[in-house]
């Protein structure tokens, strides 16, 4: 723990290791992004990409970089950061390393909203809107069902699992109601894909993240750390636990829902990124900023892999995160079991 004091009496407290991890992951994300922007049917070197980004390059290169590849990259960075931030808040709130929004029903709710639009027939904008509405409605439902003189971690987990199971059934049913081509489109969306994402997809998510990330990082992070000590302790330390939990949940649900609206419910980023960040920083408490950076790097890396791993066949990014995340999860279950934490 290092403290920097300014002459004016301000002080900033930080962990050097956490800072290094955050910066390192951000640099990694940027580097992977540079590679991703340079690769494709029109390959470009990193220097060419940088030159084009700063205003040089031919008109064709300008178009390819700023209109096709940059929006996709920005969407990937934002979705990764938003999912990781939401996941970190969830895991911290329910005090369980498995308590991520894809397991607790929020993602399924966003999917239900999107599927309703697919079945009724609607454009991609309506689909994104419905995903946000579905995610928020599910969040509200879970909160209301789990409420009993305040919401406690484990009831939230179990209610979330129940709601997730119900919604999985509903989603499967909706999928059978759509014509085959629409169903294929829906499955693509449900898996999570960054194909053809433009500024219209990145914009709303950017706005939400720009508002909520500073709120969570600056205003809520210290209180969240105290809440990990238990509700009573946090109360005694002056944290308004009940109100804060509502704010945190709302913020996390918003982040996850908007991320799902932008790229579909990309699985396991919200689960894995906080773990990776925690292992790297070795710091107690929620590592919000390092998690965001790790989430971005993870998603950009996964997207690069998904685009280039099989020549001639582009996978949606959700397949890569699903496979990697699933493997990680099995390993995690084994480790947690051995350590007696599960």
Binding site for other proteins (CB under 8 A): 96, 98-99, 102-104, 145-146, 148, 152-155, 157-159, 161-166, 168-170, 172-173, 175-176, 180, 183-184, 187-188, 190-191, 267-268, 271, 316, 318-319, 322-323, 325-326, 329-330, 333, 337, 340, 342
CB 33 within 8 A of CB 46: no
DSSP string, 238-300: T--HHHHHHHHHHHHHHHHHHHHHHH---SSHHHHHHHHHHHHH--SS--HHHHHHHHHHHHH
Which C-beta is closer to other proteins: that of 216 or that of 266?
266
Shortest distance, CB of residue 112 to other proteins, whole angstroms?
Answer: 12
Largest distance between two CA atoms of the chain: 67
CA 257 to CA 205: how far, in whole Å? 9
CB of 188 to other proteins, least distance (A): 6
Q: Coil, strand or helix: which one is 3?
A: strand
Question: Which of 70, 83 has the CB closer to other proteins?
Answer: 83
Exposed/middle/buried for residue 321 (C-beta within 10 Å: 0-12, 13-18, 19+): buried
The pairing of beta strand 2-5 with beta strand 11-14: antiparallel
Name the minimum Å distance from CB 339 to other proteins.
11
* Least distance to other proteins, CB of residue 104, Å: 8
Dihedral sign for Cα 23, 288, 85, 218, please: negative
Considering the complex, state which of residue 137 and residue 183 has its C-beta at the smaller distance from other proteins: 183
The distance of closest approach from Cβ of residue 146 to other proteins in the complex, given in angstroms and rounded to an integer, is 7
In terms of DSSP H, where are the helices of 63-123?
70-94, 106-120
- Nearest alpha carbon to residue 217 among 38, 22, 2: 22
Q: At CB < 8 A and 24+ separation, what contacts does 153-159 make?
A: 153/93, 153/94, 153/95, 153/96, 153/99, 154/94, 156/93, 156/94, 156/99, 156/104, 157/94, 157/96, 157/99, 157/104
Q: By C-beta, is 28 or 145 nearer to other proteins? A: 145
Task: State the nearest-atom distance from the C-beta of 172 to other proteins, in Å.
Answer: 4
Q: 59: Cβ–Cβ under 8 A, 6 or more apart, which residues?
A: none
Give 170 or 250: the residue with its C-beta nearer to other proteins: 170
CB 243, min distance to other proteins, A? 22
Q: Residue 147: beta bridge partners?
A: 151
Q: Helix, strand, coil % (nearest 5) of the chain?
A: 75, 5, 20
Give 247 or 332: the residue with its C-beta nearer to other proteins.
332
- Rounded to the nearest whole angstrom, what is the least distance from the CB of residue 218 to other proteins in the complex? 31
CB nearer other proteins, residue 13 or residue 177? 177
Q: What's the closest the beta carbon of residue 173 comes to other proteins, in angstroms?
A: 4
| 46 vs 327 by CB, closer to other proteins | 327
Closer by beta carbon to other proteins, 59 or else 180: 180
């Amino acid at each position: 723990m290092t403290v920097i004091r300014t002459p004016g009496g301000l002080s900033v407290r930080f962990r050097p290791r956490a800072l290094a991890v955050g910066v390192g992951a951000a640099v990694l994300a940027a580097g992977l992004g540079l590679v991703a922007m340079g690769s494709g049917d029109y390959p470009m070197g990193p220097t060419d990409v940088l030159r084009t980004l700063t205003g040089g390059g031919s008109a064709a290169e300008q178009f390819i970089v700023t209109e096709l590849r940059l929006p996709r990259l920005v969407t990937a960075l934002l979705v990764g950061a938003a999912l990781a931030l939401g996941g970190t808040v969830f895991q911290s709130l329910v005090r369980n390393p498995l308590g991520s929004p894809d397991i607790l029903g929020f993602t399924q709710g966003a999917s239900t909203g999107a599927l309703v639009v697919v079945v009724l027939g609607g454009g991609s904008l309506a689909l994104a809107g419905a995903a946000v509405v579905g995610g928020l409605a599910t969040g509200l439902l879970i909160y209301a069902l789990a409420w009993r003189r305040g919401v406690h971690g484990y009831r939230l987990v179990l209610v979330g699992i129940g709601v997730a199971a119900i919604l999985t059934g509903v989603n499967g049913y909706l999928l059978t109601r759509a014509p085959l081509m629409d169903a294929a489109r829906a499955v693509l969306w449900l898996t999570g894909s960054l194909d053809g994402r433009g500024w219209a997809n990145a914009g709303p998510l950017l706005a939400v993240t720009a508002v909520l990330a500073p709120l969570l990082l600056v205003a809520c992070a210290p209180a969240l750390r105290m809440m990990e000590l238990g509700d009573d302790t946090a109360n005694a330390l002056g944290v308004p636990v009940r109100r804060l939990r509502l704010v945190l949940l709302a913020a996390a649900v918003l982040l996850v829902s908007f991320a799902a609206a932008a790229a579909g419910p990309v699985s396991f980023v919200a689960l894995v990124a906080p773990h990776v960040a925690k292992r790297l920083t070795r710091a107690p408490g929620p590592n919000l900023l390092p998690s965001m950076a790790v989430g971005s790097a993870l998603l950009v890396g996964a997207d690069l892999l998904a685009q280039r791993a099989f020549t001639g066949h582009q996978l949606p990014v959700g397949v890569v995160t699903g496979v990697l995340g699933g493997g990680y999860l099995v390993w995690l279950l084994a480790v947690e079991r051995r350590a007696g934490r599960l």
